[in-house]
A = this chain, B = another copy of it.
Amino acid sequence: MTAVSRDFNVQESTIDYGPLGNDLGYVLRRAQLWVFQDFIRTMTPLDLRPAQYSVLVIIHHNPGLSQIALASALGIERARLVRLLDQLEERKLVERRPAASDRRSHAMHLTPQGERALAGALDLVATHRLACLEEFGGPNNYETLVRLLARFGAPQ
């Protein structure tokens, strides 16, 4: 292993990854894909994708939030959120209520069914977390990663 070119443990092939082995964006992307695939697999019984889960979490913890505030909190476009909420509302997991003070705005809430789905999701997330702990080399490594990445979790 050199300073530029990190060796991976590849048994079947002898691919030279060059600078990619030390490229944070590259390894970050592939790690993230692994985590999301495990998340989706684990969440199959509830048919919840990561983005949908994060919407349920934020609404649960911040009931009455507007769509703009929700989109901003999650770092997604408000246009993208509309589709996400349409799907979740069709499934009766979330509810758009008219906002008291501003008739343009919606106050987002989980339905009782949405609360139950979230509770079930949290159980499965615990299972998923165990898989991640294993895959990332134990709780210490997991916590180190979360600590080093936490600043990206919320805007500003």
Q: A residues engaging B (CB < 8 A)? A: 5-6, 8-13, 15-36, 39, 50, 54, 57-58, 60-62, 65, 69, 72-73, 75, 122, 125, 128-129, 132, 136-137, 141-142, 144-146, 148-156
Contact = CB atoms under 8 A, between A and B. Distances in A.
Contacts of A132: 24-25
A93 B9 CA distance: 29
DSSP majority for the A interface? Answer: helix
Contacts of A33: 75, 152
Contact of A28 (B9, B13, B35, B75): B35
A23 to B, nearest CB: 8
A140 to B, nearest CB: 10
Nearest to A118: B18
